[in-house]
Structure 1
């Protein structure tokens, strides 16, 4: 009887061992599926993160473009930008800057009866049109 009890116990233990091995195989397969899903999700997250960064860059460029268009329409784009610490530099026209050669000046003693001309405007010269030259 003692021998029969040991055989029965051994058989029960063998059955439990088979059951545990089967559960172990199922859990291992389940764990492999979870690892594959985790790798796929990590890859998708990286792609989405990159796409998000591109969208942020695109949005930033869109906002900058909108701001520049607004400045262009309101005429603030062509005015010089000054920092609060830098001194203001007054606009100097090309007529006063020495960039252009000065027009010939005729004196009243050169031309009898004519009026003395002292600047380019009275000499019939007009300043260059620069308003249409926007960046």
Structure 2
């Protein structure tokens, strides 16, 4: 991630006054009003800055995606009822707020359970001689 936003740097805005930091962030988040939209339509420099910031935000999101989510192993334990009541309550709360984990849990719950006597794919099975 090589984008650094220098607030003191001249932006090259062709329609002064340029956008404020909060206006740039609103534009990046898609929450712009008519005034910001009009500015971006006539100022290629500010529009380019918004595109750079969106790219940075997407890259950051990809790197931090699910940073605060439970691991898949914990979600499997949740689905199998192996968590203590406190952990289960925490995961239940997280799932209610996180569409990514909620869909992962829904997928796991939709799968048929694997019988205990079937070895996982790729597992080495040693037999006594």
Task: Establish whether TM, by shorter chain, passes 0.5.
Answer: no
Higher relative contact order (CA 8 A, sep 6+): 2
Structure showing greater radius of gyration is: 1
Normalised to the residue count of structure 1, the TM-score between the two structures is 0.28
Normalised to the residue count of structure 2, the TM-score between the two structures is 0.28
